[in-house]
Amino acid sequence: MIKKYEVLSNVQKSGIVAVVRGSSADDAYKTSVACIKGGVKAIEVAFTAPHADKTIEKLSEEYADDDSVIIGAGTVLEPESARLALMAGAEFVVSPSFNQEVAKMCNLYGVSYIAGCFSPREAQLAMEYGVEVVKIFPAGLTGVKTISEFKGPFPQMEIMPSGGVSLDNLADWFKDGAFVVGVGGQLVGPAKTGDYAQVTENAKKFHDAFAKLNA
């Protein structure tokens, strides 16, 4: 299997992508490790965190022998950041919006680009540029029926809702057809006060909730 599809398969198996921002490189690293310890092993290190590429590189090296851990880059707005992320070892790239040049960069290096979209036109354009998974963002504004609505005209579209996903509505998103979900504050929020143990506990809850859906 082509590497990028192996990565997407592992992301789907994880079910939850932890959106890690972090106030510093150390904070982003500790938050990511806390998520992994709790069973959420698909990590999206946002480029809003200082030196995000260094965090991605450190995590990629540390978990190089664990195929269940997938380290990606988030909030990638332009091709320069995409290249930094890819050179650091990011296995997937996520953006809050669609950028054609980022899509080209990811295609060139054989890495999946999960592009944020909010309209059918944006989603169609993203797919035309080779995007395998469309990120509906912010999903909290659209509601849990968004996926089935998009899949009406685009039945082939794989969708990751992000923004507004919680333990309370997790099952609803997957019932509506989510490929995977992105979770930020509901999962990693306690890291803002340095409570990484609670991040791990939150990760366990999300991991267990997803596992029950597939039991």
Can you list the alpha helix ranges (DSSP code H) found in the chain?
A: 3-14, 25-37, 52-62, 79-88, 100-109, 120-128, 139-142, 146-151, 170-175, 185-188, 196-213
Cβ contacts of 209 within 8 Å, gap of 6 or more: 167, 170, 171
Marked catalytic residue, from 30, 41, 44, 158: 44
140 Ramachandran zone, left/alpha/beta (phi>0; psi -120 to 50): alpha
pLDDT given for residue 142 in this prediction? 84
pLDDT by residue, tens only, the chain of 215 residues: 688 999 999 999 999 999 999 999 999 999 999 999 999 999 999 999 999 999 999 999 999 999 899 999 999 999 999 999 999 999 999 999 999 999 999 999 999 999 999 999 999 999 999 999 999 998 988 888 999 999 999 999 999 999 999 999 999 999 999 999 999 999 999 999 999 999 999 999 999 999 999 88
3-state secondary structure at position 16: strand
Report pLDDT for 215. 80
Whether 44 sits among the annotated catalytic residues: the reply is yes
Q: Is 135 an active-site residue?
A: yes
Please tell me the distance from the alpha carbon of residue 101 to that of residue 63, in angstroms, as a whole number.
29
Distance from C-alpha of 68 to C-alpha of 101, rounded to nearest angstrom: 29
Catalytic option among 30, 41, 58, 135: 135
Q: What is the per-residue pLDDT for 1?
A: 63
Q: What is the pLDDT of residue 140?
A: 87
Report the half-sphere exposure of 169 (CA within 13 A, side-chain side).
Answer: 19
Q: Helix, strand, or coil here: 29? A: helix
Whether the Cβ atoms of residue 181 and residue 135 lie closer than 8 Å to each other:
no
On whether the pTM is more than 0.75, the answer is yes
